[in-house]
């Protein structure tokens, strides 16, 4: 009986070892190794910080880790003097959704470009065609380019409310990591660098749901049209912004924005046809939608 048990155990360990080798080989050859590493580090950092573990899935279509944000209520906006009148504090209820863990990279956007579903970035972009910047967030894109990528990915641009909940969680955080003032270990901001850094950098500054660079690096396009008084009459459940407008909203702040502008509730507005150097993409997917893993 003892020898039979030992043999089974040895076979089990052998199969597990073989499985690890196969998984590691697949991850390395398919480009999943970094995604797997970031997933592990994310969970460890959240646990160390006292946050709950999160659900993370991988989409093979664009090599993106996506994080599950559960349904529920949170406080959106802020009544602080520095935030301005357009960010009136109010409660919002959102259905659950999946959101990209990092800003869409040049390598990810290139997959959409090669598929013929996305345009090339603006002609003065020196990053997109340089392999050295494959892990940097794609920029020099306008709102319509961002929307096209998210549609190709199988999702859509997040609403302002979805973006903000993913950035600050349900504890009304001023910054993704909490309420302590930002510094250069947490985010790329205030002109410390002359451009964006890797989308995988600044792990210490992750949000309560484990998202990277929800402050600094690049401003991110969201779905909503901008209105200064929208928060005063926003619906409680799943707000999507005004029905029409002239300017689209950007969130998160970029590499040259200051400590006020990288707050989780700060709002930017811009011409949706303008492809600026500090504008990037992060997508969401509704729970009902399917993706290839």
Mean pLDDT confidence for 36-64: 87
Domain that holds residue 118: 51-286
Q: Is residue 234 part of a domain?
A: yes
Tokens for 256? 């040259």
Q: What is the pTM of this model?
A: 0.87
The residue ranking higher by pLDDT, 63 or 165, is: 165
- In the chain, the largest separation of any two C-alpha atoms, in whole Å, equals 77
The pLDDT of residue 291 is: 44
Is it the case that residue 5 has pLDDT exceeding 60?
A: no
The pLDDT of residue 33 is: 65
Tokens for 270? 């811009």
Residue 100 · residue 108 · CB < 8 Å: no
Is it the case that residue 13 has pLDDT exceeding 70?
A: no
| Cα gap 86→219, rounded to integer Å | 18
Confidence of residue 117 (pLDDT cuts 50, 70, 90): very high
Is it the case that residue 188 has pLDDT exceeding 70?
A: yes
Is it the case that residue 29 has pLDDT exceeding 60?
A: no
The pLDDT of residue 182 is: 97
The pLDDT of residue 28 is: 42
Is it the case that residue 10 has pLDDT exceeding 80?
A: no
Residue 69 · residue 159 · CB < 8 Å: no
State how many domains the chain has. Answer: 1
Q: Is residue 6 part of a domain?
A: no
Mean pLDDT confidence for 180-201: 96
- Strand boundaries in the chain, DSSP class E: 56-59, 64-69, 72-76, 90-94, 97-100, 219-225, 248-251, 267-270, 279-280, 284-286
The pLDDT of residue 11 is: 61
pLDDT in tens, 52-99: 889 999 988 888 999 999 999 999 999 987 666 799 999 999 999 999
Nearest CA among 165, 149, 167, 175 for reference residue 283: 149
The pLDDT of residue 32 is: 53
The pLDDT of residue 45 is: 87
Residue 215 · residue 208 · CB < 8 Å: no
Residues in the chain, total: 293
Range with lowest mean pLDDT among 6-10, 142-146, 182-186, 268-272: 6-10
Q: Is residue 237 part of a domain?
A: yes
Tokens for 42? 């994310």
Cβ count near 158 (within 10 Å): 26
105-128 per-residue burial string, b: 16 or more CB within 10 A, e: under 16 = bbbbbbbbbeeeebbebbeebebb
Q: Is residue 14 part of a domain?
A: no
Q: Is residue 220 part of a domain?
A: yes
DSSP annotation of 131 reads G
Q: Is residue 172 part of a domain?
A: yes
Tokens for 168? 């600050």
Q: Which of 22-36, 106-120, 274-288 has the highest mean pLDDT?
A: 106-120
Rounded to the nearest integer, the mean pLDDT of the chain is: 89
Q: Is residue 20 part of a domain?
A: no
Q: Is residue 164 part of a domain?
A: yes
Mean pLDDT confidence for 24-28: 43
| Cα gap 86→266, rounded to integer Å | 9
Residue % of the chain over a pLDDT of 70: 86
CATH of the domain at 64: 3.90.1580.10
């Amino acid at each position: 009986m003892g020898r039979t048990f030992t043999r089974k155990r040895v076979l089990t360990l052998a199969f597990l070892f073989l499985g690890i080798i196969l998984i590691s080989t697949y991850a390395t050859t398919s480009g999943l190794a970094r995604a797997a590493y970031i997933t592990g580090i994310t969970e460890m950092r959240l646990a160390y910080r006292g946050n709950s573990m999160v659900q993370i899935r991988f989409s093979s279509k664009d090599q993106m880790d996506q994080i599950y944000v559960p349904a529920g209520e949170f406080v959106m906006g802020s009544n602080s003097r520095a935030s301005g009148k357009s960010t009136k504090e109010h409660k919002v209820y959102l259905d659950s959704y999946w959101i990209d863990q990092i800003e869409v990279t040049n390598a990810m956007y290139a997959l959409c470009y090669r598929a013929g579903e996305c345009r090339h970035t603006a002609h003065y972009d020196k990053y997109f065609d340089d392999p050295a910047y494959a892990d940097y967030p794609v920029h020099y894109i306008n709102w319509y380019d961002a929307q096209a990528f998210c549609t190709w990915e199988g999702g859509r641009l997040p609403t302002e409310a979805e973006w903000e909940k993913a950035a600050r969680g349900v504890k009304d955080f001023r910054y993704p990591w909490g309420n302590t003032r930002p510094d250069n270990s947490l985010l790329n901001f205030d002109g410390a660098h002359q451009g964006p850094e890797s989308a995988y950098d600044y792990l210490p500054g992750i949000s309560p749901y484990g998202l990277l660079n929800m402050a600094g690096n690049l401003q991110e396009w969201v779905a909503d049209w901008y209105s200064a008084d929208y928060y005063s009459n926003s619906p409680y459940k799943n707000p999507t912004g005004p029905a029409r407008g002239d300017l689209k909203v950007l969130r998160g702040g970029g590499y040259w924005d200051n400590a006020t502008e990288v707050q989780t509730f700060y709002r930017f507005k811009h011409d949706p046809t303008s492809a600026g150097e500090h504008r990037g993409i992060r997508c969401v997917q509704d729970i009902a939608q399917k993706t290839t893993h």
